[in-house]
Chain A
C-alpha cells in the first residue's frame, strides 16, 4: 500500500453540486427556467470532469495509490479526531465516476422530463443536493464523514420520493422511517468500532481502521460488521428492510433512476467493499451478507414476475440486483460486487429512464396492461430499452453478462460460497430474464392497448431525454468489457484495477476452466429459458398467463400481493407502535405533562379566587385592617420586652 498522494482539487468534486444547490436556492426562481436547466446539469458535468481528471492522475500513479485531501479538522473531542478529508483510490474513483457520470446524464434527462413541472427549481435543488451528498459519501476518507453523506442521501431520497407531496407523502415517510431503522444499526456499529480501536487518538479513517482491524477481538468484529450490514440492508433495500424501495417509485422517474437504482441504493455495497478488511475477518458476517443477498435476489425477483406497474417491476428488479451485489461481496468477491454495481448503474438507470420516456409519452400511464406496441411510436426508447434488457438478463456480450456471471461463478467456487448460493442466484437470474422480457413484450410489442385518446398522443421524447438514453445504452452494451472473464481478450482489467484496494478474490475451491464454462453455460441457459417462457406467455399465447393465474390462484394471489409483507409489517410493528404512541399521547402527554402544567395553573387560579374575596372595595374595611395591622405592630413592639 502506497501512502496517499496529497492533492488540492478533490474538494471541487462535491463543491460544484453544492454550488448548484446554492444557486438554485437563492437565484433559481429569479434566474428562470433556462438558467437552471443550464447550471444544474452543468455543475454535475463539471464534477464529472473533475472526477475524470482525478482518475487520470490516479492512473498515472503506481497501482494501489490514492489521492487524498485533508480539508480541515472537523471533530476534536478527546481521543476522537476526525477530519473532513477526501480520498480517491481505485474503488472511490469507480464510484465517483459512476455517480457523477450517470448523475450528469440523468440531470440532462430531467431537463426534458420535468420541463412542465411547476416546481422545476425545487426539483433541481434536491437533485443537486443529492449529488453533493452522494459524492461526499463516496469520497469520504473516514467512516463518520461517510455517514454524513449516507444521511444526506437519505434525506434527499425522502425529499424526492415525496416531491409531489400534495398528492401523497406516505411513501417518502415510509422510506425515511425504514432507513432510520437501518441507520440506527449503522451508528451502533460505528460506535462499537470506535470503542474497540484501542488507546490513542483515532481519526477513524479507512487506513487507520484497516491498520487496527486485527487488534479487535473476533466476536466484536462480527458484531460491528453485522450492525453495519443492518445499515446496508436499510439503505440498499435488502431483506427485511427492502419494503421502502418499491413504494419509492412514487417519486419522479429520473429520481428512481438516479437514487433508487443507479447510485444511492448501492451505498451499502460500497460501504461493505470499503470496509472489506473488516468483513474478511468475520466469516459469520460474510455468510449473513451472502445469504441475505441471495435470498433477496430470489425473493424480489418472484414479486417482480407479477407486477403490472412498469416502475414497480423495475423496483423489485433493483432490489433483486442489489441482492446479487451483496451475494458478490458476501462471498468475498468484492470487485465482482462493485463491477455489478457499475454495470447495474448503466443498465438499470437506462431501464428507468426508458420507462420514464414511456410514461412521458403515454401521458403519465404506468400500467403495462394499458401499453403495448410502443415500438412503433418510440423507436429510440425501444432500442435502448432492448439493449438494457439484454444487459440485465445476462445475454452474452452485454454488460450484465460479465458482472453477473462473475458473481455467480464466485458464489459457486469461493470458499465463502456454496452450491446453494449459486443455485439461488441462478434461479433468480432465470426469473429476472422472465420478468424483464415480460416487461419488454407487454410494453413495446403486440397491439397497443391504450384508449384512442392516449394513443393519439403517444410520441417519442425530446432530445434532452433520448440523448442520455443513447449514451447509457452504449454503456450498457460495452460497459462489461472492462471486466471480461480471465483468459478472454484482455482479461478482467476491472478486477485488476481494484485488486490493490480490495485484495485478490478468494482462491477458488474447485477451480478449473471446465467448471467455469459449465456455470457460464448454465446461467446463459436459464436466461434463455426465461426469455423463451416470456415469449410464449406474452407473444405466442397471450391468454396463457391469465389461465395459469386462475389455475394456481393461491400462489398467484400470494405473489401478486407481494407475500403480504407490508401487511405483516403493518400488523407486527406499525400498529403496535401506533398503539403505544397513542397510549403515550393520551396517558403520558395529555394526562401527566399537560396535567402538571394545567394543574399548576388551575391551583394558582383557585387559590387566587379564594384570596381575591378580600378585595371587597369597601374603604372602611381596608381602613380597619390597616388599623388592626398598625395596632398589631405597635403591640408587638410594646410587649416585646
Chain B
C-alpha cells in the first residue's frame, strides 16, 4: 500500500474542479469551456478512484467507467454542436452565441 494519504487526492481533485468551474464561467471560447467541463468530470473521477482505493470497494471504479463513457458521448455530441454552431455563426465565442433569450 502506498503511503499517499487520501487527503492529497481530494485536495488535488478540488483544485482541478475549481479550475474547471472557473474556466467554464470566465472563458469565452466554447472549446476551452468544453475542455474545462472535461476537467471537472475528471476531477470527480479522481475522487471516485481515491475513495475506491481507500475503502477497498470496486463501486467507485465502476462509476468512473460510466462517467468516462458518458464523457466520451458528450464530447462527440458537444463537438458536433460546436462545429454546427461555427458553420452557422462563424464564431466560437460564447458571448456571441446568445440568441436564446428575451
A615 lies within 8 A of B24 (CB) = no
Interface 0/1 of B2-46, CB less than 8 Å to A: 000000000000000000010011100000010000000000000
A617 lies within 8 A of B94 (CB) = no
Which of these binds chain B: A100-108, A116-124, A619-627? A619-627
Set A615, A617, A620: member contacting B25, Cβ < 8 A: A620
Q: For A613, what are the chain B residues with a Cβ–Cβ distance below 8 Å?
A: 102
Interface 0/1 of A609-641, CB less than 8 Å to B: 000110111111001100100000000000000
Query: B79 at interface (Cβ–Cβ under 8 A)?
Result: no
B94 lies within 8 A of A620 (CB) = yes
Query: B68 at interface (Cβ–Cβ under 8 A)?
Result: no
Closest to B100 in A: A617
A618 lies within 8 A of B95 (CB) = yes
Whether A623 contacts B101 in the complex (CB less than 8 A), given A618-B94, A618-B95, comes out as no
Set B21, B24, B33, B99: member contacting A617, Cβ < 8 A: B99
Query: B98 at interface (Cβ–Cβ under 8 A)?
Result: yes
Query: B97 at interface (Cβ–Cβ under 8 A)?
Result: yes
Q: For B98, what are the chain A residues with a Cβ–Cβ distance below 8 Å?
A: 616-619
A627 lies within 8 A of B94 (CB) = no
Chain B residues 63 to 83 lying within 8 A of chain A, measured CB to CB, are none
Q: Compute how far the CA of A620 lies from the CA of B30 in the bound complex, rounded to whole angstroms.
A: 10
B102 lies within 8 A of A620 (CB) = no
Q: Compute how far the CA of A615 lies from the CA of B102 in the bound complex, rounded to whole angstroms.
A: 6
Looking at chain A, what size class is its interface with the partner chain?
10 to 19
A623 lies within 8 A of B25 (CB) = yes
Q: Compute how far the CA of A618 lies from the CA of B94 in the bound complex, rounded to whole angstroms.
A: 7
Chain B residues 82 to 102 lying within 8 A of chain A, measured CB to CB, are 94-95, 97-102
Closest to B102 in A: A612
Q: For B95, what are the chain A residues with a Cβ–Cβ distance below 8 Å?
A: 618
Chain A residues 261 to 275 lying within 8 A of chain B, measured CB to CB, are none
Interface residues of B (CB under 8 A from A): 21, 24-26, 33, 94-95, 97-102
Nearest 3 A/B pairs, CB to CB: A617-B101, A617-B98, A612-B102
Could you list 5 further interchain pairs (A-B, Cβ under 8 angstroms) beyond the known A612-B102, A616-B101? A616-B98, A618-B94, A619-B97, A627-B21, A627-B25
Contact sample, A vs B, 28 pairs, CB 8 Å cutoff: A612-B102, A613-B102, A615-B101, A615-B102, A616-B98, A616-B101, A616-B102, A617-B98, A617-B99, A617-B100, A617-B101, A617-B102, A618-B94, A618-B95, A618-B98, A618-B101, A619-B94, A619-B97, A619-B98, A620-B24, A620-B25, A620-B26, A620-B33, A620-B94, A623-B24, A624-B25, A627-B21, A627-B25
